[in-house]
Chains A and B, each alone.
Chain A
């Protein structure tokens, strides 16, 4: 579904991604794990078009999207749940969800999807008229996920959804991700919480200073000594 082929991404003189390649198969959960500053967010931003690779290509369903304007990428079927949630703080929960469906013209389908989001996240329903900035961290994460779902994406990019959440909430978020995937959405999940990410993923990539250093079946990586040592606390 998505193939990143040897992309190089720079911030000015900083070479943030070095010939990075990865592939996400339709219907799967693929995780990209790595330490802080490794280049995970940069990878997702490149897919969403917010950053432009200097070389290489990003193929989504057989089309190179590496030069497509970022606001057009959502329309192709790729939504992102950005790092730090980035909900629109002085807009209500409902308005945030409406923004997720910004490009959609089918009013009825959009309303149905909003109901679906509320069914999935009853706490958002209770707070639908509340400003997003007044929600707790966990609720904001749910809102960010709901907002991305409102675009009916085929591929959902998630940037550290567990960041800053209490362990119980982290578990809840991961089971939601698994559920979203089981209902047909392909997922590329970026995480520092390698343990949790590997436990729900089909395939995993490990990134270090802008390079993929390991890749393979998530289950196998979880048991590999290198990964255990570097990312799973021994």
Chain B
């Protein structure tokens, strides 16, 4: 039992990371029905911005995270403007292919300039401590990841539920034409959505740097895909779904690694995806009338 609870705790921080990435996928999908395949790579850029602000500028982890979030918010806005907006009224497959192209572009530009070499997140940024409580071990890294992810999710919920812009985001995702009739600029709302989603991904990138200690230009691919599965699991387009889906995926992955073998942890994610698509394509929280991915 203790072992099981320990695995759950280990899964929480990974789940928090997946949840943050999944939120960006789901928010963008909710607004423009696009699976932004470059989203995991934006996370990777965030991890690098965090890395360099720690190693070159000597910033602490929070400043590094804020730095990464701001940079990626801008990057997300630019990517949408340059690559996706011109295709807003074309077929969805055209936009999807563009997103895959953007993903490769970010990966290979980073490879070109920074090489494929792994970089180790500076340990100085976050001296590791482990705490033992009632036989359970938790590290300050895990606590930091979980707490900051939860704070970001609370802020996000506040924005979406209570602010005028958040309400406009929901209005646009429900009915663009009606939203325009209210005077809401769809372009502006799409930009804000990309900014928020990319900022959350950047925070997740820094967290992954902390979690795995190492980063590389292709690090966005697998977590990106898993977070995408998390978003589908929760019901693509649904914000609470992405949060729950992210935590579930993280916990599931740690359980599989812990009780079975870490060799299977990636396979499990895709097993989950296939199962949802077979059993309930709209995800755990989706109504059965929704559009299928």
Residue ranges of B at the interface with A (Cβ–Cβ < 8 Å):
164, 167-168, 170-171, 174-175, 177-186
- Give the residues in chain A near B186, CB-CB below 8 Å: 71
Tell whether, in the assembled complex, residue B180 and residue A70 are in contact, meaning their CB atoms are under 8 Å apart.
Answer: yes
Contact of B182 among A50, A74, A89, A90 (CB under 8 A): A74
Interface residues of A in 52-100 (CB under 8 A from B): 69-75, 79-80, 82, 86-91, 95, 98-100
- Give the residues in chain B near A151, CB-CB below 8 Å: 182-183
Tell whether, in the assembled complex, residue A99 and residue B182 are in contact, meaning their CB atoms are under 8 Å apart.
Answer: yes
- CB of A141 to closest CB in B, whole Å: 14
21 CB contacts below 8 A, A to B, read A50-B181, A69-B185, A71-B180, A71-B186, A74-B181, A74-B183, A82-B177, A82-B181, A87-B178, A88-B170, A88-B178, A90-B170, A90-B174, A91-B170, A95-B170, A99-B171, A99-B184, A102-B182, A103-B182, A147-B182, A151-B182
Q: How many A-B residue pairs have CB under 8 A?
A: 62
Contact of A91 among B167, B180, B184, B185 (CB under 8 A): B167
Contact of B180 among A50, A75, A147 (CB under 8 A): A50
Contact of A70 among B167, B168, B175, B181 (CB under 8 A): B181
- Give the residues in chain B near A140, CB-CB below 8 Å: none
Contact of B183 among A86, A95, A102 (CB under 8 A): A102
Chain A residue nearest to B179 in the complex (CB): A99
User: Nearest 10 CB-CB pairs, A to B?
Assistant: A74-B183, A103-B183, A86-B178, A102-B182, A99-B182, A71-B185, A70-B180, A88-B174, A102-B183, A88-B171
Report the Cα distance A80→B180, complex, angstroms: 10
Chain A residue nearest to B187 in the complex (CB): A71
- Give the residues in chain B near A162, CB-CB below 8 Å: none
Known contacts: A91-B170, A99-B167, A99-B171. The answer to whether A71 contacts B177 by CB under 8 A is no
Interface core residue of A70, A82, A87, A88 (most chain B CB under 10 Å): A88
Report the Cα distance A75→B167, complex, angstroms: 19
Report the Cα distance A72→B164, complex, angstroms: 17
Tell whether, in the assembled complex, residue B177 and residue A50 are in contact, meaning their CB atoms are under 8 Å apart.
Answer: yes
- Give the residues in chain B near A50, CB-CB below 8 Å: 177, 180-181
Q: A71-B180, A88-B178, A99-B184 are in contact. List 13 more A-B contacts (CB 8 A).
A: A48-B181, A50-B180, A71-B186, A72-B183, A79-B181, A80-B181, A82-B181, A86-B175, A100-B182, A102-B168, A102-B182, A147-B182, A151-B183
Report the Cα distance A100→B164, complex, angstroms: 11
Chain B residue nearest to A90 in the complex (CB): B174
Tell whether, in the assembled complex, residue A91 and residue B174 are in contact, meaning their CB atoms are under 8 Å apart.
Answer: yes
Known contacts: A50-B177, A88-B174, A88-B175. The answer to whether A95 contacts B167 by CB under 8 A is yes
- CB of B157 to closest CB in A, whole Å: 15
- CB of A223 to closest CB in B, whole Å: 35
- CB of B16 to closest CB in A, whole Å: 26
- CB of B181 to closest CB in A, whole Å: 5
- Give the residues in chain A near B177, CB-CB below 8 Å: 50, 82, 86
Report the Cα distance A103→B184, complex, angstroms: 8
Chain B residue nearest to A96 in the complex (CB): B171
Tell whether, in the assembled complex, residue A98 and residue B174 are in contact, meaning their CB atoms are under 8 Å apart.
Answer: no
Report the Cα distance A151→B164, complex, angstroms: 15
- CB of A202 to closest CB in B, whole Å: 25
Report the Cα distance A73→B181, complex, angstroms: 8
